Structure 1
């Protein structure tokens, strides 16, 4: 039953953001709110489990990418940087801002993960530098730009009605970070 509750909760979060109520959720599940609270004594506990599940999925997906022999180094790096839990692929960026604003403890868990999950990406970058596929650069600045960009986009999404998906936002940001903004033939023209 807990698995079913989690699945419907993720669906509710995708539709309404993290501000769905336990009453809404109980109605979607066809059970009483009292029964729902028997499984999850608070919405915060439910959110904790949702976030833990998403983080575990991200870790597993990253491991799959890192060990996928069909991908080259640049593809692995790009895929790792745009990882989003499957159930949240179409989520709106503003929902992350809602989590930050209304559920600070749950946001802290996600924020810690966002700041600490860089070992696999560092390993790919180092491999790319050694292979001369990636120029040497300050990885700490890269992380700060990535995280700062993500958080700034979250703030903007909460104020803007433009409903760009989290997946599309992450892909665009990573494309800019990895490929820059210049056409490949700019140096040839000068």
Structure 2
């Protein structure tokens, strides 16, 4: 029953935001409100269980990706960037934004996940550098770019104004971080050797 409550709670959260009521959830489940409190001490306790399940699912995915010998570093890095909850389902952008703004203790769980994920990202980048697939970069700066981007992309208003979803925004971010803004035909061109604008244009021909 506990798992059923958590699953239905996520649905209510995504439909109504953090303002959903335990009374409404109980009605959806066809049980009494008291029955819910046999499994959870409070609404925040229930929310914590939802977030924990989502983050644990993500951590398991990240670990599998990182140690999958069938993937090269580029494939691993892409998969790490695009990982999304599967067992329970994702939270909407609005909910993530509200958790960030109104539930700092719960948001710390997400920040810890992002930090743990970054450690895996650094490991994969190091593997890529060793194989000559990535160039060595300042990982501290790259981390700032990544963490700042994740925080900004969680802004529901930004996504709404740009007619995007969090998944699509992160997909584009991953592509930019991995490949930059250089056109595909120019990616093997050494930037330091291109000094004349016409040379840069020629690489795409």
When normalised by structure 2's length, the TM-score is: 0.82
Look up the SS of the partner of 2:18 in the other structure. Answer: coil
Contact (CA 8 Å) 2:12, 2:25: kept in 1 or not?
yes
CA distance in 2, matches of 1:165, 1:20: 22
Paired residue for 2:68? 68
Does 1:38 find its partner at 2:38?
yes
Look up the SS of the partner of 2:31 in the other structure. Answer: coil
User: Structure 1 residues 27 and 159, CA, compared in 2 at 3 Å: closer, same or farther?
Assistant: farther
Aligned length, in residue pairs? 188
Q: CA offset at residue 165 of structure 1?
A: 3.0
User: Structure 1 residues 177 and 153, CA, compared in 2 at 3 Å: closer, same or farther?
Assistant: same
Paired residue for 2:121? 121
CA distance in 2, matches of 1:13, 1:119: 30
Paired residue for 1:14? 14
User: Structure 1 residues 158 and 37, CA, compared in 2 at 3 Å: closer, same or farther?
Assistant: farther
CA distance in 2, matches of 1:158, 1:19: 18
- 1:146-157 matched pairs, under 5 angstroms: 146-155=146-155, 157=156
List per-residue Cα deviations over 1:94-117 (Å, max 9, x = no partner): 221111122221112212221233
Paired residue for 2:201? 189
CA distance in 1, matches of 2:157, 2:19: 13
Paired residue for 2:179? 179
CA distance in 1, matches of 2:13, 2:152: 21
Paired residue for 2:89? 88
CA distance in 1, matches of 2:159, 2:201: 38
Greater Rg over alpha carbons, structure: 2
Paired residue for 1:29? 29
User: Structure 1 residues 66 and 117, CA, compared in 2 at 3 Å: closer, same or farther?
Assistant: closer
Contact (CA 8 Å) 1:80, 1:121: kept in 2 or not?
yes
CA distance in 2, matches of 1:95, 1:7: 15
Paired residue for 2:142? 142
Q: CA offset at residue 27 of structure 1?
A: 1.7
List per-residue Cα deviations over 1:89-146 (Å, max 9, x = no partner): 4x43222111112222111221222123322211110010111100110112111111
Question: Runs (4+) of structure 1 moved beyond 4 Å?
Answer: none
User: Structure 1 residues 24 and 179, CA, compared in 2 at 3 Å: closer, same or farther?
Assistant: farther
Contact (CA 8 Å) 2:153, 2:170: kept in 1 or not?
no
